[in-house]
Amino acid sequence: METAKIKELVSRMTLEEKASLCSGLDFWHTKGVERLGIPSEMVSDGPHGLRKQDDKADHLGINDSIQAVCFPAGCATASSFNRELVTKLGETLGEECQAENVSTILGPAMNIKRSPLCGRNFEYYSEDPLVSTEMAGALVHGVQSKHIGTSPKHFMANNQEYHRLTSSSEMDERTMREIYLASFEGMVKKEKPWTIMNAYNKLNGTYLCENKEMLTDVLRREWGFDGYVMTDWGAMNDRVEALKAGCNLEMPSCEGATDAEIVAAVQDGTLDESVLDKSCEEYLNVIFKYEENRDKNAVFQREKDH
C-alpha cells in the first residue's frame, strides 16, 4: 500500500485503535482493526524450521504443533558456509509459511556466540560477525523472496542465559560496532528484513526495547531499516518509553494494559501523538506488504498442490 494511503488510514483511526496496534492479540497473532480492513496476522517461530502451534498453544510447546519439516538449526547451516544452500532453505521455509498462512517467521537468530553456556547457541550462526551477517542474510533473502516476512533476532548483545531477561551488556563503541552490531548491519542494509526483534537485555544500562540509539539512530537512520520492531516475548519494560525509542509492537498480548498506558500518555501530554502515528505507519507498511501478496501466495500453493 502506498505511503499516502497508509497515512490516510492512520488518520481515520481513533486513539484507542492506534494504541491497540502496539501489542499482540494473543500469543502468536497481531491485532487488527476490522472496521478499517486492517487484518490480524500470525507469526511463528522457526529455529529448526516452521514451528506453528494451534491457537491454545504457548511458547513452551505444551500443546500440539502442526507437522513440519525439521531442518538443521543455525549452528549447522552456518557451518556449511554455503549462501546458496541457506537461500534455498529460506525459500522452502517461505513456502511452508505460505501454506500455513503465517505472515512472518521469527528468525533468523543471529547474536554473536560469546559463551558456551548460552542456551540459544544452537540457533545462532557464529562467533564471527561476517559469517553471521552473510548466512543470516541468505536466509532472509530466501524467505522474503516468497513474500513472507522475517524477524532477525535478538537485537542485540543477548549472549548468555544467566539473568538473560535483566542483564546489562556493557561495552565500548568499538566493540559494539565491530562485533555485535556488525552481525546485523550487513544483513539489514542488503536484505531489508520486514521486521526486527529486539532483545530482553539492557545495553549499557538501557533495556533494548527502550534504546533509542539502537532502534532509531542506528537501525533506522544509519542502516535504513523501514519495517517494524517487535519485542522478544515478554521483553517489554516501559511501554511509553519504548514507543518513543522506536519499538513498534509488544508481544505477546498485554491484555490491554500497556495499550491503556499509551492512550493515557497521549492524553496527558507525555507522549506526542505523532510518535504513535509514525509507529502505526511503520507497522501497517509491513502488514499490507504481506496482505497484498497473499493472493500470489495462494495461487502458488494451488499450482504446487496440483
pLDDT digit string, tens, across residues 62-89: 567 788 889 999 999 999 999 999 999 9
> Which range is least confidently modeled, 50-54, 137-141, 184-188?
50-54
Question: For a pLDDT cut of 90, what percent of the chain falls above it?
Answer: 84
Quick check: pTM over 0.85?
A: yes
Grid cell, residue 144, equals: 522474503
Q: Domain 3-305: what homologous superfamily?
A: Glycoside hydrolase, family 3, N-terminal domain (3.20.20.300)
Structure confidence at residue 57 (pLDDT): 55
What average pLDDT does range 229-234 have in this prediction?
97
Predicted confidence band of residue 60 (pLDDT cuts 50, 70, 90): low
Which residues carry out catalysis? Answer: 232
List b or e across 48-66, with b for residues whose CB sees 16 or more CB atoms inside 10 angstroms: bbbbbbeeebeeeeeeeee
Asked whether the predicted pLDDT for residue 295 surpasses 90, the reply is no
What average pLDDT does range 42-70 have in this prediction?
77
Q: What is the pLDDT of residues 9-37, one digit of tens each?
A: 999 999 999 999 999 999 999 999 999 99
Question: For a pLDDT cut of 70, what percent of the chain falls above it?
Answer: 93
Asked whether the predicted pLDDT for residue 212 surpasses 80, the reply is yes
φ/ψ of 265, rounded to 5, equals -65, -40
Burial class (CB within 10 angstroms; exposed 0-12, middle 13-18, buried 19+) of 190: middle
Cβ contact 87:134 at 8 Å:
no
Cβ contact 125:110 at 8 Å:
yes
User: Alpha-carbon distance 232 to 242, whole Å?
Assistant: 13
Grid cell, residue 83, equals: 549462501
Cell numbers 524477524 correspond to 151
| CA-to-CA separations, 295 to 194, 205, 289, 292, in angstroms, rounded | 19, 45, 12, 7
Mean pLDDT of the chain: 93
